[in-house]
Amino acid sequence: MRLAFTRMLCGAADYTICYYDRRLTNTHAHQLAASMVYASPLVTLFWYDRPQQYEGEQEISWFEQLPVTWDESRVLAGDPESYILIARRKGNTWYVAALNNSSARDIIVDLTALPLTDKRLALTLYTDDDKIPTKTHVRVATKTIRRINKTNARIPLHLMPNGGATMIIQQQ
């Protein structure tokens, strides 16, 4: 966690995603979030993995859409010992990622912290879920928000121990 608050303030670093590696000590949703939190134009999905390990997991769409440069970055919440919640913008699309330490926690993504338009928002959420019958156990869910208000501006996320979550917010 500390890297996001220290080293990454100075610019990109090499953080290689080993998405399908059996030695992972964190969740696959954590790996998705790390690919954005530790922003690096060198991030490559199959660096240590082999393409034949891919079995149609839906969340790979995160990597397909993830930009390698950003127009804006905002730390929304966090603590160097516990977790980080960060948002990055490319064009009119916001990408949000949360990384967690070894203690489960519930956090809130407050959409009012981002300069979003009053237009319709399309959200895609990628979260840990042991009930998903894939080897990665990542849930991909979509949600449409027609207009932000007090009720729908707060998106709750449950972060598993060593887990994470990501979100793509497209302004339509």
Helix ranges (H only) for 13-156 are 28-37, 60-65
> Residues 168, 93: contact at Cβ < 8 Å?
yes
CA proximity to 33, closest of 130, 86, 98, 88: 98
Helix ranges (H only) for the chain are 2-5, 28-37, 60-65
Domain that holds residue 150: 2-171
Q: What is the pLDDT along the chain (172 residues), one digit of tens a residue?
A: 777 777 666 666 667 778 888 888 999 999 999 988 887 666 555 567 778 888 999 999 998 899 988 999 999 999 999 999 999 999 999 999 999 999 999 999 999 999 997 779 999 999 999 999 999 999 999 999 998 888 889 999 999 999 999 999 999 8
What type of residue is 74?
Answer: R
Whole-number Å distance between alpha carbons of 17 and 155: 26
Number of domains, the chain:
1
The CATH number of the domain holding residue 89 is 3.20.20.70
